[in-house]
Structure 1
């Protein structure tokens, strides 16, 4: 059961045995990631357990090993167990394949970086940058790109831009969290479900001190009577080509959902674009994301992640000056979505890692507890 009143725990993670590999260990991994949209979603623990089904030291398939590495990093955090697992995966890559294991090395470097072991992060990443700087930057996290620039291994302007983005986020973070936690500041959290259509809540939404919106939303006049038009905080998926581009300067804060995207996001051009357009990037704490994902056993949506974070900061919503609009979750087809601004509003299911039933249950607990 998620501890709604608890502060995010330090990254100490969910201890688990190191993954071991049988001769065909990668087959269930690929099957899991290829589930058709209408198939039951595989739980996080089940996915990881499938990777440990057979136990010997055969060499794993590189694509599957890379997926396992990212999954462990995202859903377990940079724990000692995760770091050892990544080291084990890297050690099993044959010497002749090392030049093709850049993505795996980039994940390992990002995990070391988030664990504040920059010596190891640079050691893992330096060969990639010496071999091909352009490719290395394209597969690195924001924090690693900045560090490689400081170590003189990336003389391009990308590393300097990464440093500017990190500094901007650090300078903005304290004020953002202080205002988010301040119960005297009224907050409207506005989802994209069509549930508000016809209710005429737009003016009430816009009267709040802060209005939070998610991913693709519409402030067109046709929808303002029900959904309002203001947007102070924009919570968006990182690295998602389906998210509409918006200048960062339109918002007081741009929150990137998922585990801390300074470390867990790769090819972070969307973060750099927000900073270049005058925006202030904000990142979800990895421990909070790990706790929420463990509760759901699925990747949480941006909306539920933000509500969970806000509940941790403010306590029970009944007394927290928080109003929630445009959330139903039960009207989402498994693996798909419905938005108030789409015609038709019934969208065929698409590939997704969210479990809307589990999210709806936790959503009700957040509102009622």
Structure 2
């Protein structure tokens, strides 16, 4: 076993699905751990306040309240239990409010945080969208982050965005907070349309010195949607000058933006500011492109940094491998998604007859599904957050790996170990070009799945996409929202993804011709 393999196994233990006993034990352990935290030193204000009702509630209830507040960045300043409801005074960046919620809700939340959203929680939130409700008077914007956290825990989707946009909130003079919270809710549920864009812009432009969170949220959104345009660079520089006390983590994010834009001098200046605030930030927040820049400028000389810089060079050199493969084999390729749509089609022999076969994430050739999905694979497109497949478990025949996701080299911290494993196992590793992520996102106005993004790229490289000729397994809106159906699983996975299958189906139909007789 090589040193790299040994390191990978230490850093990335093999994931396995827990059985029911393990899940029950995890719930008990988590609640015991949280109870000890509450009873111990260093309690937060929220934990101390919630602990006032500790003797009258279960461990899971206490844990659920704390987790909901943590996800909403909200502090509880007062709490009591009256007639089957919790009454709370909450405080967050948006303001203060008196709210109440059903006494059973926190316990459901604690269970959902460990085991996933339950049907009971989903139904409760679906039937009454404002589960954490105001006591009286107009609805303050302080409620938005609290309800947004609850909706996300409950597994709801973008249906809540219209509800928020059509609700009147009490915001006083803080119109920037209203726009910021509305934009945050929209992004939470993957709605990236013109209204979200305007809300982000209004949150920043309504004050001479915008709030830091609103500024960073706007910057990340515009980076994702527009790239690193000159106009955006100039505006970011202008606003950064008005926010002199940005924390080290924000400065690293901004450095990643300017590194992506090719303004290396400005990126280095931000990196040095970050290090002045947090001396270990370069080692603790290892963004590959920034590590590469620091090594090039001889500001980092440690072995780990040199290895990561070499890895970035390797990934950049591999950028042409997939495009060249596709152009040479434009008449003989298949992209195989993981939806159950191919079952009973007998298309496996057609797929295996192609020179290039692209599969995604956990989708692999399997004798059980060979008749419909084939066995061959030459390209693996992998989301860095997908851990269903062992990272060092090499698939025979794969010639190159494409890592999907936005800003893998310029935004994602501490991903180097994962990328090194892939490079060691498969040699050629590259990342999907940002331009195709952006164009797909703009087209559907939602966060796109990896499967739909690669179709955008293939249409650009070779064109001629046709269902059941070179495109297979795209179920899209044949499956329910908030679910992901796979041909190799008996039941759909209830997921927290923020893809909109209806929007992706409409876009798919513009790229891929229907099956020809």
TM-score class, shorter-chain normalisation, is 0.7 to 0.9
Where do residues 276-287 of structure 1 align in structure 2 (5 Å cutoff)? 276-287=424-435
C-alpha distance 33-183 of structure 1, shift in aligned 2 (>3 A): closer
Give distance in 1, aligned partners of 2:254 and 2:286: 10
1:175 corresponds to 2:321: yes
Shift, 1:60, TM fit? 4.3
1:45 to 194, 198, 203: 194
Q: Map Cα deviations across residues 29-54 of structure 1 (whole Å, 9 max, x no partner).
A: 3333455xxxxx52343222112335
1:107 to 241, 253, 260: 253
Q: Tell whether the 8 Å contact from 1:129 to 1:154 is kept in structure 2 after alignment.
A: no
Partner of 1:364: 509
Matched pairs, number: 337
Partner of 1:229: 375
Partner of 1:82: 232
Q: Map Cα deviations across residues 213-270 of structure 1 (whole Å, 9 max, x no partner).
A: 11222433322232122221111223x1545333385421111223452224333232
Larger RCO, structure (CA 8 Å, separation 6 or more): 1
1:326 to 473, 484, 491: 473
Partner of 2:461: 313
Shift, 1:94, TM fit? 5.0
Partner of 2:282: 136
Where do residues 5-20 of structure 1 align in structure 2 (5 Å cutoff)? none
Q: Tell whether the 8 Å contact from 2:400 to 2:426 is kept in structure 1 after alignment.
A: no
1:69 corresponds to 2:223: no
Give distance in 2, aligned partners of 1:46 and 1:151: 42
Partner of 2:59: none
Partner of 2:336: 190
Q: Tell whether the 8 Å contact from 1:214 to 1:303 is kept in structure 2 after alignment.
A: yes
Q: Map Cα deviations across residues 197-228 of structure 1 (whole Å, 9 max, x no partner).
A: 12232233222111101122243332223212
Partner of 2:403: 256
Any unmatched runs of 5+ in structure 2? 1-174
C-alpha distance 122-47 of structure 1, shift in aligned 2 (>3 A): same
C-alpha distance 56-275 of structure 1, shift in aligned 2 (>3 A): same
Shift, 1:279, TM fit? 3.1
Give distance in 2, aligned partners of 1:34 and 1:359: 18
Give distance in 1, aligned partners of 2:220 and 2:420: 22
Give distance in 2, aligned partners of 1:324 and 1:67: 36
Partner of 2:184: 30
Give distance in 2, aligned partners of 1:285 and 1:123: 27
Bigger radius of gyration: 2
Give distance in 2, aligned partners of 1:292 and 1:110: 22
Give distance in 1, aligned partners of 2:350 and 2:365: 15
Give distance in 1, aligned partners of 2:202 and 2:186: 13
Partner of 1:13: none
Q: Tell whether the 8 Å contact from 2:321 to 2:400 is kept in structure 1 after alignment.
A: no
Q: Tell whether the 8 Å contact from 1:69 to 1:104 is kept in structure 2 after alignment.
A: no
Any unmatched runs of 5+ in structure 1? 1-20, 36-40
Partner of 1:124: 270
C-alpha distance 93-336 of structure 1, shift in aligned 2 (>3 A): farther
Q: Map Cα deviations across residues 59-98 of structure 1 (whole Å, 9 max, x no partner).
A: 5444443333222111110112222343345334353xx3
1:302 corresponds to 2:450: yes
Give distance in 2, aligned partners of 1:317 and 1:218: 22
1:267 corresponds to 2:430: no
TM-score (norm 1): 0.81
Where do residues 131-170 of structure 1 align in structure 2 (5 Å cutoff)? 132=278, 134-170=280-316
TM-score (norm 2): 0.59
Give distance in 1, aligned partners of 2:339 and 2:513: 20
Q: Tell whether the 8 Å contact from 1:26 to 1:61 is kept in structure 2 after alignment.
A: no
Q: Tell whether the 8 Å contact from 1:236 to 1:256 is kept in structure 2 after alignment.
A: yes
C-alpha distance 327-267 of structure 1, shift in aligned 2 (>3 A): same
Partner of 1:292: 440
C-alpha distance 322-68 of structure 1, shift in aligned 2 (>3 A): farther
Partner of 2:484: 337
